[in-house]
């Protein structure tokens, strides 16, 4: 039957027909390029992963020292007692059934992956001089990131793309990959991300629905929503603060730590760059907003207020508005909206907000005032922001001639 082992073998057996003598591309650390597969090619690779026929020794693919994620379903198939893994396997079978039996001609629809690697990462001085005005923010407590179909949607990723989707993982990234199995192909071709890298996806169609979270994840049937073009996704991995000794907020407010997160977000939000837009296609080149939320603030213990401000700065530098979903936290959405209104009414720039979060002894000041938001509001409430000066950001400069890029993190070629 469709979706059974015979079906999987037929899918896997199409390798030579679909790929010929071409090798499967590798998007290694430091690359700035993409890879595309038609829908049937993606299904062929997934069939091999499901049948566990991907070679276990793939050290030749670990060029430049990069790690690859799991390459097959061995762990999931041999430890199928975990409820979340049962749900994932049910979703995968729905995916194969939806595609039907292999056709004679490959499907024209493509699944695309683009690895962004920023050569010229901005330092503290350059962020302080950034005169780009802060963009609009819509802070909402109802709904989820997936609801904002026309926005660039943020995947709260693991450095090894896909995280634990082929094992016991079941948080935001793993759930998205489970619902959109085409995205699992990225585990075969994308090495672990560096601090200056992101991975952008286009074409990951949703085939099924799930309910629950973490170990309560359950299969919830085939996706029956309208047939619309899959959204544009960007995968960015946050720092993990669980192993840090000492005061966690003080550590997160260190300039070097904040710079890493700010530049990482910029790498993920740079979809308007000419090379990225060209690869993804004309329909994907002009999202007007990025939909995100509490990135790295669950198991990784990130500070929600700080991460919201850093993502706001990154989106503004990349010429995008922000949709910030708080996953039911109405008070946080209200407080963020108040911060946004205060700062935008004063004409505050990205550089000025960066200076505010770099305030000396910010951790104790924020605690005394009741949080980072209150510190930032207090700093701008009584005075008008100075007219923007210095570096007006990437939008005001012509593209550099150097292909490595030097316009801005995430905003230069």
Q: How many helices (H) and strands (E) does the chain have?
A: 16, 10
Sequence-distant (6+) residues with CB within 8 A of 226 are: none
Q: Which uninterrupted H or E stretch holds 285? A: none
Respond yes or no: is residue 174 known to be catalytic.
Answer: yes
386 contacts 239 by C-beta, under 8 angstroms: no
Q: Which of 31, 40, 85, 173 is catalytic?
A: 173
Respond yes or no: is residue 330 known to be catalytic.
Answer: no
Q: Is 305 left (phi over 0), alpha (psi -120 to 50) or beta?
A: alpha
**Dihedral over alpha carbons 250, 194, 312, 202 (to 10 degrees):** -150
Q: Which of 174, 197, 237, 335 is catalytic?
A: 174
In angstroms, the CA 242 to CA 314 distance is 24
Residue the block writes with tokens 């469709």 = 2
In angstroms, the CA 146 to CA 153 distance is 7
Q: Which of 319, 318, 388, 311 is nearest to 349 (CA)?
A: 388
Helix 330-345 vs helix 372-381: crossing angle, to nearest 10 = 20
Respond yes or no: is residue 155 known to be catalytic.
Answer: yes
Q: Which of 40, 85, 120, 155 is catalytic?
A: 155
| Residues known to be catalytic | 155, 173-174
């Amino acid at each position: 039957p469709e979706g059974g082992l015979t079906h999987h073998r037929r899918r896997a057996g199409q390798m030579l027909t679909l790929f010929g003598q071409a090798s499967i591309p590798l998007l290694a650390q430091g690359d700035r390029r993409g890879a595309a597969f038609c829908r049937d090619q993606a299904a062929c690779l997934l069939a091999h992963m499901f049948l566990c026929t991907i070679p276990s020794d793939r050290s030749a693919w670990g060029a430049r020292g990069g790690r690859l994620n799991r390459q097959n379903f061995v762990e999931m198939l041999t430890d199928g007692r975990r409820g979340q893994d049962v749900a994932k396997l049910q979703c995968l079978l729905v995916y194969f059934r939806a595609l039907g039996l292999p056709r004679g001609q490959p499907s024209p629809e493509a699944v695309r992956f683009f690895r962004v690697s920023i050569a010229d990462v901005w330092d503290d001085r350059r962020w302080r001089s950034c005169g780009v005005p802060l963009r609009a923010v819509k802070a909402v407590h109802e709904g989820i990131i997936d609801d904002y179909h026309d926005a660039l949607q943020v995947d709260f990723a693991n450095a090894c793309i896909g995280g634990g989707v082929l094992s016991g993982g079941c948080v935001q990234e793993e759930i998205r990959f489970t619902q959109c199995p085409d995205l699992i192909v990225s585990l075969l071709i994308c090495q672990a991300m560096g601090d200056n890298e992101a991975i952008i996806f286009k074409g990951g169609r949703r085939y099924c629905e799930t309910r629950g979270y973490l170990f309560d994840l359950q299969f919830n049937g085939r996706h029956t929503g309208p047939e619309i073009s899959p959204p544009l996704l960007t995968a960015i991995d946050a720092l993990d603060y669980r192993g840090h000794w000492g005061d966690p907020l003080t550590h997160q407010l260190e300039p070097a730590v904040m710079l890493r997160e700010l530049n990482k977000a910029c790498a993920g939000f740079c979809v308007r760059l000419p090379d990225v837009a060209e690869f993804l296609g004309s329909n994907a080149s002009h999202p007007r907003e990025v939909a995100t939320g509490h990135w790295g603030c669950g198991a990784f213990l990130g500070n929600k207020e700080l991460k919201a401000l850093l993502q706001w700065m990154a989106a503004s530098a990349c010429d995008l508005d922000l949709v910030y979903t708080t996953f039911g936290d109405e008070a946080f959405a209200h407080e963020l909206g108040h911060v946004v209104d205060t700062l935008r009414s004063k004409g505050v720039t990205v550089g000025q907000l960066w200076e505010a979060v770099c305030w000396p002894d910010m951790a104790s000041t924020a605690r005394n005032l009741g949080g980072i938001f209150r510190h930032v509001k207090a700093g701008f409430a009584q005075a008008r922001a100075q007219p923007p000066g210095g570096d007006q950001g990437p939008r005001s400069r012509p593209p550099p001639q150097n292909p490595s890029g030097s316009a801005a993190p995430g905003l230069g070629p």
